[in-house]
Amino acid sequence: MSVRTGQELRERSAGSRAWRGAYALALGACLALGFGRNSAQSAPAASTSADPIGALIAGQQAGLPVVIGLKLTESGNRARFAVELSDPVEAHVFTLANPNRVVIDMPEVLWRVQSDARPSGKGIIRSYRYGLFRKGNSRFVVDIAGPVKLAEPQILAPAGGTGFRLVLDFAPTTPEDFAAHAGWPVTASPAAGTAIARAPAAQEKPVAVKRTVVIDAGHGGIDPGTHGTSGLQEKDLVLTVAKELRKALEASGRYRVQLTRDSDVFIPLRERVNIARAAHGDLFVSLHADSNDHREIRGASVYTLSEDASDKEAARLAEKENMSDAIAGVDLTGDNSPVASILIDLAQRDTMNRSVRFAENVLGSLPAATTVRPTSPHRAAGFAVLKAPDVPSVLVELGYLTNADDERVMTNQAWRTHVAQAIAAAIDAHFAAQPGLITRQAANP
């Protein structure tokens, strides 16, 4: 059973042609604008898996389709897998017995699925796994709880903001019918295929690859940021905490750490984003200290990117932070360059979700080291420094320099060390939930 591709699939509808044309234009615009990775650099495997836009560009340059989404729908003893791709592919589907499983072979693809769709454990799907089978050939293996009959696979044209979709429907059948159709096709390798299909999840080890964390000490140089009554300046405070955070992360041996600045120097906002992307960052943490006309307000808070601010205070803060370049006299004439929105959206929709998840980890870890703002500690607004489309990014406000209690603890070196350690613990928790295996396996809970 196979799904054929080629010109007939690429031209199966006017909508498909329009989507692919827009995609190509978006890709070209991104490359022209410098949104792609430097082709002379190569990222570690784990970093690449967390680099959707770089992967899309690299895949297109290499001529490889990119798997950008995976959806599992279960209904009783029926199920559907929908594999979202940047391009249509030719897929060969067959079933195997003892143990019962379904195998989907396709040309080599780049797997950039950011979250696994876990089976419920109550339906026909037990588990699945995917990865590079051999050079030029990727494989998707589905373990099933009983005999199934497969509907003819379909390649659906892009619609509703999705890419191409390879759709495979599972329905129950008799053991006799399943056995009659199961077996290795002539083009498949039984020995190699069995080894993949029978490899238990417990034997799959995470690849030991260091994650790259980019720490951004806000402001600097000609832009001091806010200040307290004691004269403590935001730019100095956050640089100290940034260095403490680097120390804590490097001591674990699990991370490569890069600071956007390690001295009292001004770095434009766009350049901070570029530093994170050039480093193939897996995470970007921007450190700041807040201010407020209401001096009784205190406590740390965490911000993530959203074009729609969560409240007026978040909007005002984003506007203030985004003025950093203007304060330093940076030329902003190129700041409104057109963005290739289709390709950016494919990457950024997942990046923003991962940023939110990390923000919640930070807010869960900070109370062990400092006071957290009691109301709405997690907020969102259009911070320019958080706009890397492919690097999960948060902005941490360590507290309010306009509050006497916050300012007093911020002058204490022990407090700075403890806060850095709390953020490091949140980073550990964030990546512990994303093991970054080259071959992924998802099983029911």
Is residue 444 in some structural domain?
no
Assess whether 23 and 122 both reside in one domain: yes
DSSP secondary structure letters along 371-436: -B-SS--EEEE--GGG--TTS-EEEEEEEETTSHHHHHHHT-HHHHHHHHHHHHHHHHHHHHT---
Any idea what the CATH number is for the domain that residue 402 is in? 3.40.630.40
Per-residue pLDDT, 127: 87
> What values do phi and psi take at 178, rounded to 5?
-60, -45
Domain final residue, candidates 148, 181, 204: 204
Assess whether 197 and 221 both reside in one domain: no
Per-residue pLDDT, 196: 30
Assess whether 198 and 299 both reside in one domain: no
Assess whether 368 and 294 both reside in one domain: yes
Assess whether 235 and 177 both reside in one domain: no
Assess whether 179 and 259 both reside in one domain: no
Question: Region 87-100: what's the mean pLDDT?
Answer: 85
Any idea what the CATH number is for the domain that residue 174 is in? 2.60.40.3500
pLDDT higher than threshold 50 for residue 236: yes
Distance, in Å, from the CA atom of 402 to the CA atom of 368, rounded to the nearest integer, reads: 22
Distance, in Å, from the CA atom of 384 to the CA atom of 211, rounded to the nearest integer, reads: 24
Assess whether 21 and 119 both reside in one domain: yes
Is residue 395 in some structural domain?
yes
Distance, in Å, from the CA atom of 19 to the CA atom of 12, rounded to the nearest integer, reads: 12
Six token digits for residue 430: 């964030």
Domain final residue, candidates 204, 225, 260: 204
Is residue 283 in some structural domain?
yes
Assess whether 200 and 234 both reside in one domain: no
Question: Region 373-392: what's the mean pLDDT?
Answer: 86
Assess whether 288 and 419 both reside in one domain: yes
Distance, in Å, from the CA atom of 351 to the CA atom of 340, rounded to the nearest integer, reads: 16
Is residue 441 in some structural domain?
no
Assess whether 198 and 238 both reside in one domain: no
Is residue 442 in some structural domain?
no
Residue with tokens 């615009």: 29
User: What count of Cα atoms within 13 Å lies in the side-chain half-sphere of residue 66?
Assistant: 26
Q: Which amino acid is at 202?
A: A
User: What count of Cα atoms within 13 Å lies in the side-chain half-sphere of residue 377?
Assistant: 22
Distance, in Å, from the CA atom of 415 to the CA atom of 287, rounded to the nearest integer, reads: 15
Nearest to residue 67, comparing CAs of 156, 157, 165, 133?
Answer: 165
Assess whether 188 and 218 both reside in one domain: no
Confidence of residue 208 (pLDDT cuts 50, 70, 90): low
DSSP helix/strand/coil, 83: strand
Confidence of residue 100 (pLDDT cuts 50, 70, 90): confident
For 422-435, write each residue's pLDDT tens digit: 999 999 999 887 64
pLDDT higher than threshold 50 for residue 412: yes
- Contacts from 195-200 at CB under 8 Å and sequence distance 24+? 196/129, 196/133, 196/139, 196/141, 197/96, 197/99, 197/101, 197/103, 197/141, 197/143, 198/99, 199/129
Is residue 402 in some structural domain?
yes
Domain final residue, candidates 171, 204, 237: 204
Query: Over the Cα atoms of the chain, what is R_g?
Result: 25
Assess whether 245 and 188 both reside in one domain: no
Q: Both ends of the chain: CA-CA distance in Å?
A: 31
Q: Which residue has the higher pLDDT, 208 or 388?
A: 388
Is residue 91 in some structural domain?
yes
pLDDT higher than threshold 60 for residue 17: no
For 164-198, write each residue's pLDDT tens digit: 888 999 999 999 998 888 887 755 544 333 333 33
Entry pTM: 0.52
Per the structure, how many domains does the chain have? Answer: 2
Confidence of residue 36 (pLDDT cuts 50, 70, 90): very low
Q: Are 442 and 118 in contact (CB under 8 A)?
A: yes
Domain that holds residue 310: 211-432
Is residue 437 in some structural domain?
no
Six token digits for residue 178: 């399943």
> What values do phi and psi take at 85, rounded to 5?
-130, 160
Distance, in Å, from the CA atom of 100 to the CA atom of 86, rounded to the nearest integer, reads: 30
